[in-house]
A = this chain, B = another copy of it.
Amino acid sequence: MSRVHNSALSAAVAAANARKPGPSRSLRVAIFGFGTVGSSVARILVESEPRGLTLTHIFNRDIARKRVDWVPAGVVWSGDADVVLTSDVDVIVELAGGLDPAGSWVRRALETGKSVVTANKKLIAYHGIDLERLAAAKGGHLKYGAAVAGGIPVIPGLEQGMAGDRIERLEGILNGTCNFILSKMEEGAEYSAVLAEAQKRGYAEADPTEDVGGFDARAKLAILMRLALRQQVDPDEIAPRSIITITPVDFSYARDLGCTIRQVSRAQQVDGGLAAAVGPMLVALRSPLAWSQGTENMVIVNGHYGGDVVFSGHGAGGHPTAVAVVSDLLALAHGSQRVEIPSAPARLGAEFEVPHYIRFMVKDRPGIVAAITTALANEQINIRAIVQKPGYPADALPFVVTVEPCKSSALQRALHSIRGMDCMLVEPLDLQMLE
């Protein structure tokens, strides 16, 4: 008998053979990677016993140290990926992450007609299109609702509830680690202290570059750009900005401007071209982006017909991510096909034109403001405000210039001449201001 997950056709044939509606038999599920998310997925499958799903295999390296007593006795624990991939499981739940070896496991599963549910944003961002084609060719399915914003149903919302709209803009807080760090810094803490706390709580890796550098967020942004804007971009084209240059001084100045600072991922059609950016940005305290606290995630999509829709919740962590995984498994068990949103390869070719916040740190001397404003004027950049808060020493004086909407490239040319000035103690910090 055909496996029920093999396309609508074989699913229907299998259902007809079984002469009953709905899931005709349970999908056999193998979990690849028994870490935080993997054990949460197993926990939900064991506790909730959702109809149509049976956990049959758990794969992890050094499997012996992973074994737990609350998993039913019939489940096969294996340290050998080949054994599980060549077994009779219907679906591989890939939670190992990274491009390799996770990518090769996913490929091998799809090649043999199995379906795959994954939370692997990197794999989907770089190879999602190819893997979807492979799945379609072999009669399996690839689902990745957990790859972006974990427990928040952004991907099902886009595919099933907003496919009828034309999305023109999207903004998101897509990395819980950065949001935890920045919302803690908002309360006055230093970056290094908060990072240490995040590492202690398990919110940040020992090497935090993937998160704080914006690489994790840009992979998620690339996935959302495909589903929302219908544009396939190479994630490497999006140059992320790190949050490590943000200081408590910036939160103080931001607040005076009615703003706070968040790591924002955004993309938009601008003047016929496509613009995308990931990095710390000033967001108005009254805007939804400022609502996200701690490890929360948020996605805002703006539709031509439907206007702004906001999704918010717990984007990461074992349980919320596991909810997305189990929901994908249930959709497979119910034969729910994805609504395929057509997309086309695209290149980034446009820039956002937005106000910017520029924070300087100088050894004070006469003529600094004149030199800076001249450099900006030379690039036709209009100054909105110059703000200097009292209470800082003259030999390490932070002050802020905000400018009217301008392109980053023009601002970078101006900053190029400014950063050569002998009074500049550190690289000037420029941030987009979202209004």
Q: Which A residues contact B (CB, under 8 angstroms)?
A: 7-13, 15-16, 21-22, 40, 44, 48, 50-51, 136, 145, 150-166, 288, 291, 303, 305-314, 319-320, 322-331, 334-340, 342
Distance of A8 Cα from B5 Cα, bound (Å): 12
Which chain B residue has the least Cβ–Cβ distance from A11?
B8
Check B291–A303 contact: CB distance below 8 A.
no
Q: Measured between alpha carbons, how far is A308 from B297 in the docked complex, in Å? A: 11
Closest B residue to A311 by beta carbon equals: B311
Assess whether A313 is in contact with B313, with CB atoms less than 8 Å apart: no
Contacts of A336 in B (CB 8 A): 160, 336-339
Report yes or no: A335 in contact with B151, Cβ–Cβ below 8 A. no
| Residues on the B chain within 8 Å of A51, using CB | 342
**Contacts A44-B305, A156-B156, A309-B153 given; does A335 touch B8 at CB 8 Å:** yes
Question: Across the interface, do B161 and A157 meet the contact criterion of CB distance under 8 Å?
Answer: yes
Chain B residues, CB < 8 A from A40: 305
**Looking across the interface, which residue of chain B has its beta carbon closest to that of A53?**
B164
Least CB distance, A200 to chain B, in whole angstroms: 21
Chain B residues lying within 8 Å of A162, measured Cβ to Cβ, are 151, 153, 323, 327
Q: Which residues of B contact A159 (CB under 8 A)?
A: 156, 160
**Residues A305 and B323 in contact, CB atoms below 8 Å apart:** yes
**A–B pairs, 11, beta carbons within 8 Å:** A9-B16, A44-B165, A50-B164, A145-B161, A155-B161, A164-B324, A306-B313, A310-B310, A327-B339, A330-B339, A336-B336
A331 touches B163 (CB 8 A): yes
Tell whether, in the assembled complex, residue A156 and residue B164 are in contact, meaning their CB atoms are under 8 Å apart. Answer: no
Which of B151, B158, B165, B339 sits near A306, CB closer than 8 Å?
B151
In the complex, which of the residues B161, B329, B337 contacts A156, with contact meaning CB atoms closer than 8 Å?
Answer: B161
Q: How far is the CA of A50 from the CA of B307 in the complex (A)?
A: 19
Complex contacts, A328 vs chain B, CB 8 Å: 164
What residues on B are CB-neighbors of A325 within 8 Å? 164
Q: How far is the CA of A130 from the CA of B189 in the complex (A)?
A: 57
Q: Which residue of B lies closest to A332 (CB)?
A: B339
Least CB distance from A169 to B in Å reads 14
A87 to B327: give the CA distance in the assembly, Å. Answer: 38
Do A331 and B160 have beta carbons less than 8 Å apart? yes
Q: Is the beta-carbon distance between B312 and A309 smaller than 8 angstroms?
A: yes
Taking CB atoms, residues of chain B closer than 8 Å to A157 are 153, 156-157, 161, 311
Q: How far does the Cβ of A227 sit from chain B's closest Cβ, in whole Å?
A: 12
CB distance from A118 to the nearest CB of B (A): 15
Q: In the docked arrangement, what's the CA distance between A245 and B179, Å?
A: 41
Chain B nearest Cβ from A173, distance in angstroms: 13
A314 with B306: CB separation less than 8 A: yes
- Which residues of the other chain, B, contact A21 by a CB distance below 8 angstroms? 136
Query: Is A314 a contact partner of B307 (Cβ separation < 8 A)?
Result: yes
- In the bound assembly, the distance between CA atoms of A307 and B162 in angstroms comes to 24
Excluding A154-B161, A334-B338, 17 further A-B contacts by CB distance (< 8 Å) are: A7-B12, A12-B12, A21-B136, A50-B163, A151-B165, A151-B306, A152-B161, A153-B158, A155-B161, A156-B156, A156-B157, A163-B330, A305-B322, A306-B313, A311-B311, A331-B339, A334-B337
Closest A-B pairs by Cβ, 6 of them: A153-B161, A164-B326, A156-B160, A151-B306, A309-B313, A12-B12
How far, in angstroms, from A15 to B165 measured CA to CA in the complex?
A: 26
B291 pairs with A306, CB closer than 8 A: no
Whether B44 contacts A164 by the Cβ 8 Å rule is yes
The residues of B that contact A153 with a CB separation of less than 8 Å are: 153, 156-158, 160-162, 309
Chain B residues with CB below 8 A from A163, complex form? 50, 326-327, 330-331
CA distance in complex: A136, B306 (Å): 30
Q: How far is the CA of A150 from the CA of B40 in the complex (A)?
A: 33
